[in-house]
Amino acid sequence: MEEEIADEAEGTVHRRRSFGCAEWGGFWSNKKQTAATKSPTDTTTKMLTIPDGDVQEVRVKKLTGEVLDLRRDTGKWRIAEPQPLGADQDAVGSMVSSLTSLNADKVIEEKATDLKPYGLDIPTLDVVVTKKDGKTAEVLVGDDVPTGSGAYAKLADDPRVFTIGTFVKTGLDKKPDDLRDKRLLTFDSDKLTRVELQAKGQTIEFGKNSSNEWQILKPQPMRADGSQVDGLVSKLKDAKMDLANPTRRPRRSCLGSQSRHRHRFRFQRYPDFRGA
């Protein structure tokens, strides 16, 4: 009986060892197949990583010679070139974010010695990012790839040539009108205390009383529909320039009128009226 048990045990050990060898052999076989089919260039590569808060200036030079210079002062972006303009903070912020966390689709060449085939010898876009510490990073964007699904790009101090998505190139290729502040009026509606409207030779003036409620002051004092006045203020605050049609007359539909009469608005942002 002991012999039989020993044989069984030995047989069991033998079978376990045979299974282990077969499993090990399969592992090496699968590993070789995986290595043979893996492509080293099909993984996303991080081209640039800079905290958004560290960026002080973004300068974009185009092949046409146009320059767009964005600068941040006291936490607010502004357009410095081609002419000083207020900037749409959300639009500029979106552009800067896509640039400071820039991903490449593929690595095309590890050590490129000739940039001309990629259009990077004279780039379509030359983007220089300046950080708080004065250090810079330069991104070059060249020709579109043959399939039209992206463009060639590289860092000025990196020998590698990458491809980036079309949406990335489009996000960097902006015009001043794309990024400027298009609001007709800029004010804090919470601090607004008086609104004067002049139209068709008449003047209507609204003011807030001590209870922070809108009242009509002119042409004669009376109660006002607060929701209507707030609606007017909201439309004035949201009114934007139509830059798509520069020769077209300004639209007044946002102000509730499309007549040819001139509309004049005057705002006061401090508490000069607190009547009953």
What does the pLDDT look like over 205-236, one tens digit per residue? 888 888 888 888 888 888 888 788 778 777 77
Phi, psi (degrees; rounded to nearest 5) at 37: -95, -10
pLDDT class of 266 with cuts at 50, 70, 90 = low
Q: H or E element: which one contains 168?
A: helix 166-172
Domain boundaries 45-179, corresponding CATH code: 2.60.40
pLDDT class of 244 with cuts at 50, 70, 90 = low
- Look over the chain and give the mean of its residue pLDDT values, rounded to a whole number: 75
pLDDT score recorded for residue 43: 55
pLDDT score recorded for residue 132: 92
Phi, psi (degrees; rounded to nearest 5) at 230: -60, -35
The answer to whether the beta carbons of residues 180 and 88 sit under 8 Å apart is yes
- Domain locations in the chain as residue ranges: 1-38, 45-179, 189-268
Longest dimension (CA), the chain: 120
C-alpha–C-alpha distance, residues 59 and 73, integer Å = 15
pTM greater than 0.85 (yes/no): no
Report which residue type is found at 174: K
C-alpha–C-alpha distance, residues 185 and 195, integer Å = 13
pLDDT surpassing 70 at residue 247: no
Region 10-37 average pLDDT: 40
C-alpha–C-alpha distance, residues 191 and 103, integer Å = 43
